[in-house]
Amino acid sequence: MDRSLFRANARLEKARLAVVLGDVEAGRREMQQSQHDAAGARDCWIAVGLDAQIRPQSSHPVIVAGRELALWRGETGPAKVWDDQCPHRGMRLSFGFVRDGTLRCLYHGWGYGEDGRCVSIPAHPELAPPKTICAGAHAVATKYGIIWSNLSAARAATVPEIPAVTDWRPVRSLYIHRSAAVVLAGIAAFDYGAPAEPATPAADVYVVTLGAQTQLLLALQPVEANKTGVHIASSGVDATADRLALVRQMHSLRDAIEAGTGPSR
């Protein structure tokens, strides 16, 4: 696990404990430090979900390397990835709801605009919230039908480039109870039922070319030490029956990796 994220997670737990014990100021300090630690995370883009799965006006919890995040979308526009903690008292923002383009915390209803800044405090409607009250927003990009996020402050890395194919369609997100390394090895060893030409255009990203037309993109999301998300898109699989067969095959892939049974369809 990324050490910066590990430290950030520990700070976040301390912040929640401080708030529960009534020391709101200490909780706020720990939350700020947690954001600071998370900013030192590895500079890379990590798949966090399929774009088609995140409906307008919805919010979802996501975990990357143990770091709790809120993945949400307003009425329109791209999804956002924020730290899953309200700057007020640490409530999970993924429990919140979307109104008028803002993500509202379920606890006291504070609303946060798309850039993360607090824009409304219902208990004090006359108050313009200070600019310093800000949810931890991370870089996000949508490519190949997959939502990617970079948790680092550096953000020099670019989203993995996958040449040639432009018509990626979402297949399924799977969560496998094995480490990312084991999942990657399982993907490489799997029998796809056709001659397979594998490529790894970036760490934790695997592309399989099957025959002349079909390609599979499998982007890994390390969740915890022994749990990994796999967000899958395909190209050249258009007929409904073929797409259903592909989903079944991906379930077989998950089962084979969890069972440790090696190559299997």
The residues that touch ligand FES, with contacts defined as CB under 6 A, are: 86, 88-89, 91, 105, 107-108, 110
> CA 190 to CA 208: how far, in whole Å?
11
**Minimal distance in Å, beta carbon 118 to ligand FES?**
9
Neighbouring-strand partners of residue 224: 227
**Minimal distance in Å, beta carbon 61 to ligand FES?**
15
Q: Of 97 and 107, which CB lies nearer to ligand FES in the complex structure? A: 107
State the CB neighbour count (10 A cutoff) for residue 7.
17
Reference 253, options 169, 165, 197, 193; nearest CA is 193
Q: Of 92 and 143, which CB lies nearer to ligand FES in the complex structure? A: 92
Q: Of 86 and 223, which CB lies nearer to ligand FES in the complex structure? A: 86
Q: Of 108 and 265, which CB lies nearer to ligand FES in the complex structure? A: 108
Q: Which residues contact 47 (CB under 8 A, 6 or more apart)?
A: 146, 147, 148, 204, 205, 219, 220, 221, 229, 231
Neighbouring-strand partners of residue 205: 202, 219
**Minimal distance in Å, beta carbon 130 to ligand FES?**
14
Instruction: Identify the helix (H) or strand (E) that includes residue 224.
Output: strand 214-224
**Minimal distance in Å, beta carbon 25 to ligand FES?**
14
Q: Of 120 and 150, which CB lies nearer to ligand FES in the complex structure? A: 120
**Minimal distance in Å, beta carbon 88 to ligand FES?**
3
